Amino acid sequence: MKIGILTAGGDCPGINAAIRGVCKTAISTYGMKVLGFSSGYRGLIEKNYQELKEEQLSGILTLGGTILGTSRDKPFQSGSKESVKLIKKNYKDLGLKALVVIGGNGTQKTASQLADEGLNIIGIPKTIDNDVYGTDVSFGFDSAVMIATEAIDRLHTTANSHNRIMVIELMGHHAGWISLYSGVAGGGDVILIPEIPYDIKNISKYLKQRIKEDKKYSIVVVAEGIEKPEDEYAASYISNMIQKEVGIETRKTILGYIQRGGTPSPMDRILATEFGSHTADLIAQQKFGVMVCKNGNNIESIPLSEVGGKIKLVSPDNPLIEKSRKMGICFGDS
């Protein structure tokens, strides 16, 4: 059996571990031949691929990024049906029996559409934002939380030394998972996420009370997707408003792409490997049109039709939020 594999969307730690998990299981256990397509769906459109063999998988477990390269090309949104026709033609001409697609929300939506076109597709969820619907967690998230938490840890010493309020902006356009988890892990005093509307008056009141209690510095963690003026960064807007309302020297840090780079955490390596190996099992069982997922302690699968176009958001009644409120963390809504 000959199968294809590609990685699309943004890079994140753990993709290479997933590629390795798919390929080693497919080759060693099932005797499959694996073709790796370059630069996401573009590689399939342009027929740009290489055969992935055992020797090419050595040493990639700990590598960040993706050895296949990636792009954000979306064949069904290109304005032309030609891209989809080429994908179907090349899939058939190369004799592929299945295509493995590693990516986030947009990638899985395209994967679902290709499955509707009659291709045998299996999706693997990856994203640092942890917002892929249908899985408890995606690989890349744990690594991003570790990086963000370390950054918050380092801000504590500077904030304490200078009696400042430090605002750090983390990734998350629609979902606040990184900010919530790293904010709690890093001892953030204020955590602002897109899912919970905030009022700057509530935040300033909270910070002023901390000052009255002789707490001379504060850490404010904000997700990039919180409500703000369109032409401003979240950290810039919040820090300016805090300095204006509270009157304490306030500094901002925008962590940016550092959250997506570097070697994956051990947990992400394990999760990506589990996802990859399970994908090869599903191909051998001819179970297509699904995305692998984690449900509790189990690695399972969910129909792609239930995943595409959906986002997993932080629920305002998330247990971690409830526990955080009881510990005195401010979410800006009260």
What DSSP line would sit under 232-284, residue for residue? S-HHHHHHHHHHHHH-S-EEEEE-GGGGG-SPPPHHHHHHHHHHHHHHHHHHH
Please give the single-letter amino acid code of residue 281: D
Q: Is 169 strand, coil or helix? A: strand
CA distances to 88, 210, 271, 291 from 136, rounded to whole Å, are: 32, 35, 11, 13
Please give the single-letter amino acid code of residue 68: L
Task: Give me the sheet containing 165-170, strands edge to edge.
Answer: 190-192, 218-223, 165-170, 250-254
Question: Which positions are catalytic?
Answer: 129
Helices (H), 62-221: 82-93, 105-116, 141-162, 177-185, 200-212
**Residues in Cβ contact with 18 at an 8 Å cutoff, skipping those fewer than 6 apart:** 102, 124, 126, 139, 272, 273, 275, 276
In whole angstroms, give the CA distance from residue 26 to residue 78. 32
**Residues in Cβ contact with 202 at an 8 Å cutoff, skipping those fewer than 6 apart:** 330, 332, 333, 334
In whole angstroms, give the CA distance from residue 146 to residue 14. 14
Residue whose tokens read 């910070």: 207
Distance from the first to the final alpha carbon of the chain: 58
